[in-house]
Amino acid sequence: MEINNLKIAELLRKIAICYSVLDEKKHFFRISAYERAADSIEYSSKEIRQIWKEGELDKVAGIGRGLSKYLDELFRKGRSMHFDKLLSKVPEGVFELMKVEGVGPKSAYKIIMELKLEKKKDIFESVEKAANKGEIAKLDGFGEKSEREILKGIESLENRKEKGKRMLLSTGLNLAEGFVGFLKEDNSVKSVDVLGSLRRKMSTVGDIDISVITSSASEVIERFCKYNKVTRVLDKGDKKASVVIDGLYRVDLMVQDEDSYGSLLVHFTGSKNHNIALREYARRNRMSVSEYGIKNKGKIEKFKNEKGFYKYLKMEWIPPELREDGGEIEAALEKKLPELVKLLDIKGDLHIHSNFDIETSHDLGTSGVGEIVDEAVKLGYKYIGFSDHSPSVSNHTQRDVLELLKRRKEYIDKESYSFVKSGKIRVFNMLEVDIMADGSLSINDKCMDFLDGVIASIHSSFRQKRAQMTKRVVSALSHPRVKIIGHPTGRLLGEREGYDLNWDEVFDRAVKNDKAIEINGYPMRLDLVDYLVKEAVGKGVKLVIGSDSHDKWGLFNMRYGVYVGRRGWAEKADILNCMSYNKFKLWLNS
């Protein structure tokens, strides 16, 4: 397995931990340099190894001469003397034990070294044993309470079947909605907002952040901790509280007065790197930023809303989805932020599966064409496309396929007749065709001629090498009847990593052949991935957002696709299904 960005980021974080264990004071800034380099690499849209091959390592943000040298050695020899030397000083169990809530590098190191657990295989079991004997409470700086908290932390970690698993954006938004409703029942609550990665609409989120304006903070914090899903209270203070819900997910509450609420919104919407970049910018201009306001010449300037906050820093208001320190601060200063695509800009949905049995080997939808069209009309769409999976290759001749397609078209026409006739909506007869292992397509040209448009997607042979995968996608992009590449990385969040393609080649071909790349809004896919959307937009690639719905409610997933587009800096003009019916049809037929 070749070393990838995530692994490099993990390694650098481990090195940072080594430094803080060994002598945090001495290495204070070195530690944050390693952490920032790790973040930068983890969120890089390109593999760092590739960048190294091209000799551009020192152009990556957060990587300078020192890290370039170590990474160069790592890539050439598979290991770096410098990293290995540091790692050898800190037992592996330290990194494991740090997964426990409230246990950081110092505590983990101290427990393991003082109790001589460095050679133990199951560190959690060994620490549990020691804690039950009261050995941890005896250590300097620990007590009975912290011993109990560590035991609780290990227990809750082991209750979680998959440790550290992030939740889907859709799951997080739904859970947060429950909390918001509950908090709003309190009369003293003036306003509730969902912040953090949920507000930035990241495709997966690790926790839920909620903020409240209230006249009685302690009452609201009490109420928050008593919500029926809360299984554990982690922290509870005057201004904030943290709980675990369903034994799985962390929820943080922040309380603030109305006067400083704008600063709080900025602070807890983040991301961390956006905040750091904001503060560095403020510092360069002799100001200081916190969740209470902006300190200028010894006086704190307060802000009721975010617009005022950013304006004071001479910036445009930055949409939450862009707050990732990906150039948004520079753009906001120059007043050149993009006008991001909105859900209301979407005129049609082209990726919809019906329940018409077309004898496919993949999953069928569960709603009929009639009820789906009805729902689409209610959503205000001007056009939709039915894109069922193509019939299975092994069980059908191409003549069978054409026959099935004809029957399906009759069914679609009949079911949508009244809607189309009344002029409410137009319907495209499309298909989601498989890109086979050799790059050919699962139906022949004659069948494709029968359709209004083709989405081509990979549904098999996911483990091919990068070059072969790229060849498959590029050959589909070169087929005259294929207009859209569906869910281009094939990832399934929490289940399957996406395949890596040579994106430069794919995007260049898409532009050259006037094809579109799909942003799939199915919550588990959200694919094309946001940072690749940004790359694509930068190269002028046309995009289509599709819900990939398998029933009429699935049409609502369009919003998640739009969020991904927004995170990728996409404007209305980048998304083809923001065009009118006539323009879209013209493109489809071109």
Binding interface with DNA (CB under 7 A) = 24, 29-30, 32-34, 37, 61-68, 70, 82, 98, 101-108, 137, 140-147, 149, 196, 207, 209, 235-240, 242, 250, 252, 268, 272, 275-276, 279-280, 282-286, 288-292, 295
Taking the least distance from each CB to DNA, the nearer of 98 and 451 is 98
SS3 of 150-194: the string is HHHHHHHHHHCCCCCCCEEHHHHHHHHHHHHHHHHCCCCEEEEEE
- Taking the complex as a whole, how short is the minimal distance between the CB of residue 122 and DNA, in angstroms? 20
Half-sphere exposure of 356 (CA within 13 A, CB side): 28
484 neighbors 513 (Cβ within 8 angstroms) = no
- Taking the complex as a whole, how short is the minimal distance between the CB of residue 300 and DNA, in angstroms? 8
Q: Which two tokens stand for residue 437?
A: 């292992």
DSSP states along 227-283: -TTEEEEEEE-SSEEEEEETTTEEEEEEEE-GGGHHHHHHHHH--HHHHHHHHHHHH
543 neighbors 511 (Cβ within 8 angstroms) = no
Would you put residue 163 in left (φ > 0), alpha (ψ -120 to 50) or beta?
beta
- Taking the complex as a whole, how short is the minimal distance between the CB of residue 481 and DNA, in angstroms? 46
Taking the least distance from each CB to DNA, the nearer of 333 and 377 is 333
- Taking the complex as a whole, how short is the minimal distance between the CB of residue 549 and DNA, in angstroms? 33
What SS3 state is found at 7?
helix
Taking the least distance from each CB to DNA, the nearer of 105 and 348 is 105
Residue with the two structure tokens 């001589």: 116
- Taking the complex as a whole, how short is the minimal distance between the CB of residue 397 and DNA, in angstroms? 57
Taking the least distance from each CB to DNA, the nearer of 63 and 154 is 63
Taking the least distance from each CB to DNA, the nearer of 237 and 480 is 237
Distance CA 266, CA 257 (A): 14
Taking the least distance from each CB to DNA, the nearer of 253 and 405 is 253
C-alpha angle with apex 157: 154 to 160, nearest 5 degrees?
150
Phi, psi dihedral angles at 21 (to 5 degrees): -70, -40
3-state helix, strand, coil in the chain (%, to 5): 50, 15, 35
Q: What is the largest CA-CA distance in the chain?
A: 80
Q: For residue 559, give Cα distances in angstroms to 201, 430, 546, 562, 563.
A: 10, 22, 10, 5, 6
- Taking the complex as a whole, how short is the minimal distance between the CB of residue 241 and DNA, in angstroms? 7
Taking the least distance from each CB to DNA, the nearer of 129 and 295 is 295
- Taking the complex as a whole, how short is the minimal distance between the CB of residue 235 and DNA, in angstroms? 4
- Taking the complex as a whole, how short is the minimal distance between the CB of residue 188 and DNA, in angstroms? 17
Taking the least distance from each CB to DNA, the nearer of 105 and 546 is 105
Taking the least distance from each CB to DNA, the nearer of 61 and 180 is 61
Would you put residue 422 in left (φ > 0), alpha (ψ -120 to 50) or beta?
alpha
- Taking the complex as a whole, how short is the minimal distance between the CB of residue 535 and DNA, in angstroms? 20
